[in-house]
Amino acid sequence: MNISQNSRKFSIAVHGGAGTVIQGQADEAPYHAALAQALESGAALLRRGASALDAVQAACQSLEDCPLFNAGRGSVYTRDARHEMDAGLMDGSNLRAGAVASVSQVRNPIALARHVLDDGQCVLLVGEGAQRFADERGLARMDAGYFDSAERLAQLRRVQAQSGQTALLDHDASGLAAHPAPLNENGKMGTVGAVARDVHGNLAAAASTGGLTNKRPGRVGDTPVVGAGFYADSTTCAVAATGTGEHFLRAAIAHDIHARMRYLGQSLELAADAAVRGTLTHIGGQGGVVAVDSQGRVHCPFNSAGMYRGYIVDDAPAVTLIFA
């Protein structure tokens, strides 16, 4: 999905996770609607001249509020039947970033990550320290019931009952026939993310996740790590990733795309394809990215069979996709 015009007023792209496909066996409409709503929440700001950073935060918050995706309200359960959420975002105009990990009571982890960025004293806050910072900044604590889901809890119990099973990407929903998803829940990576170019030519990226079903408490993947789950530099690109987090961490996939553009002079399409379909595949990782370059070109490669994704460029209608 490459858009090859030379320049645009603004661009925004989002993803809601990658995975394998069960095309035609589920109602896809709610997912398309949720992606379109997230895109519009960011595009509405960009049309008014707001920053790319504001736009990606708004888009991510929209996806966090939607229980269809594994972030914010839709987050999966840890081994201890709790929620531990991670998020991060980056301003490509100055390389400032903010991220949080293992937070459990913040409605929108991406909003807390933005406070970390704006505060500027650190890049990554975790656990109780991040929660205290949220309290200092006046972000409301949500009761556990806000994040609870009978379906997600059933996923956890089912995984724990499987002999030898440790943790699953997003969740195993083999028993959720009443609410099937377009992507096979046995192999779905549920991070959400957004990238944007604003009318001033600046780029930004954001990502948020609930992690893995039945994950070990304290486990942190690529999502809140600069250069792995997200990266933005207004001279090259903005990238938000989804997939097998440990592989994205090992290969620093988001930064690798930037580096290929900066040091090898590669186009966004060539750099992103080489990182996702080359490096990531070579080390056994799965997933994909949404990315935008300094001219507003959008590219969304993935090596899994599908990825929830969409984009808006200038005044064109939103485009949302799930399958390859």
Q: Any idea which residues carry the catalytic annotation?
A: 191
Helix (H) or strand (E) segment spanning residue 169: strand 168-169
74 among annotated binding-site residues: no
222 among annotated binding-site residues: yes
Cα–Cα distance measured from residue 60 to residue 141, given in angstroms and rounded to the nearest whole number = 19
Helix (H) or strand (E) segment spanning residue 281: helix 281-282
Among the listed residues 125, 41, 128, 51, the one whose alpha carbon sits nearest the alpha carbon of residue 88: 125
236 among annotated binding-site residues: no
Cα–Cα distance measured from residue 227 to residue 231, given in angstroms and rounded to the nearest whole number = 5
Structure tokens that stand for 120 in this block: 């500027």
242 among annotated binding-site residues: yes
Q: Is beta strand 212-213 parallel, antiparallel or unpaired with respect to 230-233?
A: unpaired
244 among annotated binding-site residues: yes
219 among annotated binding-site residues: yes
3-state secondary structure 223-250: CCCECCCEEEECCCEEEEEEECHHHHHH
Q: What is the DSSP letter of 143?
A: P
Cα–Cα distance measured from residue 225 to residue 307, given in angstroms and rounded to the nearest whole number = 21
Find all residues with CB under 8 Å of 301, minimum gap 6, and list them: 269, 272, 273, 276, 277, 288, 289
245 among annotated binding-site residues: yes
Q: Rg of the chain's alpha carbons, rounded to an integer?
A: 18
Q: Hey, what long-range contacts does 45-49 have (CB within 8 A, 24 or more apart)?
A: 46/10, 46/12, 46/196, 46/198, 46/199, 47/10, 49/198, 49/199, 49/200
The residue whose two tokens read 């359960």 is 77
Which residues are documented as binding site? 219-222, 242-245
Which residues are documented as binding site for substrate? 219-222, 242-245
